[in-house]
Structure 1
Amino acid sequence: MGELPQRVKIREVGPRDGFQNEPETIDTFDKVRLIDQLARTGLRRIEVTSFVRPDVIPQLADAAAVLEAIEVPDDVALSVLVPNERGLDRALEHRDRFHEISVFLSASESHNRANVNRSIEESLTGLRLVLGRARDAGLRCEGVISTSFGCPYEGVVPAERVAEIARELRDAGAQEIGFGDTTGMANPRQVRELFPAWREALGDDVELTAHFHNTRGQALANVLAALDVGVASFESSFGELGGCPVPAGATGNVATEDVVSMLEEMGVRTGIDLPALVVATGMARDVLGRPLGSHVATAGPVDWSGAAPTSR
């Protein structure tokens, strides 16, 4: 194992990536209080919603209402996902309520068409305009590449294809590139090989972020593999909420509290109050009325004093 980063950044994506994958719409009031709780755990970056078409993802139809109602500390950066220029137009009506945007496309043609009904080149054409306008508006921009580690329709996705898309996003204005393991196909050896190659392809001016799903139980191992090759920025979802609308069976993102627990136990600082984060997950569990996938939310944080963990 190489020298691990002393500190990492974690962007919480549950309020967007998680809530949009729930079969039922969460009440706006509940979304707001969950985000407000997350914002007081030490998290410094939270993706709060997406300005997608309400008829496509009705779970996020209240994006504007959520943005206007949340109350977060000044040092918490809020981001929204925008799919296209129309989504950006809607978001910019609330420009004073957030700091960053994310845009997305897939590294495989089949998944991109299944997800957004466009070719990769068609997506890039639209996202170039979105990124340029967002940068002009003073927003920090992230480009997320889904199926970076493999596609459930096409299998292997060539690393150079992912790098080409990443360079296109960088050149269009993305300051951060998120590499998504959208359906949980990544393995640690692959992660160790790919991130150095992508770093070499992109240079040092772009932040590389890892976005792992726990579909096959390998997400924490992949986090460790990414750390081992110098990645210090991650996206995760409290309670292991989330997944991917296509295909079926693509379960949730790696749980934020599981990532925080592992890193802090290894001496890698996150700045996040783990017990407060577990409280937020408990609130989400109560709102949804079902058990969540997070291990730490079930077992509690590690207690080195010898006392039994407090039930939550």
Structure 2
Amino acid sequence: MTEMPDVILNECFARDGLQHEPTVLPAADKAAMLERIADCGFRRIEITSFSHPKYVPQFADAVELLDAVPPRPGVLFKATCPNPAAVQRALATRNARPPEEISFLVSASEGHTQRNLRRSRAEQWRNVEEMAALAGNAFTTVGTISVAFDCPFDGPTPPARVVEDAQRYLALGVKRIAVGDTIGSATPPRVRELMRLLQAELPPDVVVIAHFHDSRGTGLANCVAALEAGITYFDTALGGTGGHPAEIAYGEGFTGNVCTEDLATLFEAMGLRTGLDITRLRDAGRAAETLLGRRLHARTTRLGEHA
């Protein structure tokens, strides 16, 4: 893993992909899946969340899972931390197997903050300030901005607010900013505009990450638009799994992430190096289907099959 790929895909199946699955999967099954994912050549992998087990039982095994998946040279395993208590749980793993990366979350709209986090934006930013202070230099930190294009409750999000949130993260020492199209409503022109604006307003050492959902079938097109605007980091999930927690009803139907297998295949066909073994990646996609017991949304795992 000495040569840097042209694009970096962060595989989110084990966290974002599983967060609204009704069945809690055994930690051993998740660990085996994560090892398979790591064998594909990913440099960033979302491994779990330190959400409170009472509210998100899927991730009650966070510490057990981290212990079951050994570190790999050149790979950042990321854990989501929704609040200061979650950061404290992440810090408590440092004598065992800590994650290399943790992420914080703000919503760019008041309505989504109230519905998804049950607090105001001002309150959530105070939480994030506390989380960043707690984390210090113990982890690589990522700041996620949800509903960066549109909010299902408040309507279109002003691009200036996304820039403001990114700059607030930067002021806290967070230099990786994930821009979330949470309801999959973005279009390529809007993506290019926002990504170019962010890069113009942020220092060159800030990494902007495209986190798109495929609710309207535009996820791949939006990733290409982000690429055209200079973005090289992307969040994806095997089989297009994931999306908002099941109890937050947006009325949007399918909410999954951009499909890893399909985006990696597209980028490779465009002559870009993903650093991924595409054959192993497609095998991992089929393994994810077996694990969840249903056919997922990847197109390219079916290449060569007869109808």
TM over 0.5: yes
Q: 2:186 corresponds to which residue?
A: 186
CA contact (8 A) 1:180 1:210 kept: yes
The structural deviation recorded for 1:75 is 2.5
Q: CA RMSD in A?
A: 1.6
Q: Which runs of 4+ in 1 moved over 4 A?
A: none
User: Structure 2 stretches of 5 or more lacking a match?
Assistant: none
Q: 1:223 corresponds to which residue?
A: 223
Deviation larger for 42-51 or 97-106: 97-106
Post-superposition Cα deviations, 1:88-141, rounded to whole Å, max 9, x if no partner, equal: 11111213432111111110110111111011111111111211221332x111
Post-superposition Cα deviations, 1:179-221, rounded to whole Å, max 9, x if no partner, equal: 0001101000100111111112222121111001011100000
Deviation larger for 93-102 or 28-37: 93-102
CA distance in 2 between partners of 1:131 and 1:297 (Å): 39
CA distance in 2 between partners of 1:298 and 1:244 (Å): 26
Q: How does 1:23-172 map to 2 (within 5 A)?
A: 23-95=22-94, 96-137=97-138, 139-172=139-172
CA distance in 2 between partners of 1:135 and 1:237 (Å): 29
The count of residues paired between Structure 1 and Structure 2 equals: 297
Deviation larger for 93-102 or 152-161: 93-102
Which of 262, 269, 287 matches 2:291?
287
Post-superposition Cα deviations, 1:64-103, rounded to whole Å, max 9, x if no partner, equal: 1111111353222111100111101111121343211111
CA distance in 1 between partners of 2:88 and 2:5 (Å): 39
Q: How does 1:198-213 map to 2 (within 5 A)?
A: 198-213=198-213
Post-superposition Cα deviations, 1:219-256, rounded to whole Å, max 9, x if no partner, equal: 00000101111111111111111011232435100011
Relative to its length, the structure with more helix (as a share) is: 1
Name the amino acid aligned to 2:166.
A
CA distance in 2 between partners of 1:236 and 1:222 (Å): 12
Q: 1:195 corresponds to which residue?
A: 195
SS at match of 1:103: strand
Confirm whether residue 214 of structure 1 aligns to residue 218 of structure 2. Answer: no
Post-superposition Cα deviations, 1:36-81, rounded to whole Å, max 9, x if no partner, equal: 1001101011010000011111111111111111135322211110
CA distance in 2 between partners of 1:131 and 1:275 (Å): 39
Q: 2:263 corresponds to which residue?
A: 259
CA contact (8 A) 1:45 1:77 kept: yes
Post-superposition Cα deviations, 1:126-157, rounded to whole Å, max 9, x if no partner, equal: 111211221332x1111000000111111110
Name the amino acid aligned to 2:27.
T
CA distance in 2 between partners of 1:169 and 1:14 (Å): 25
CA distance in 1 between partners of 2:154 and 2:302 (Å): 36
Q: Percent identity?
A: 39
SS at match of 2:39: coil
User: Structure 1 stretches of 5 or more lacking a match?
Assistant: 300-308
CA distance in 2 between partners of 1:284 and 1:50 (Å): 19
Deviation larger for 198-207 or 117-126: 198-207
The structural deviation recorded for 1:6 is 7.5
TM-score, structure 2 normalization? 0.93
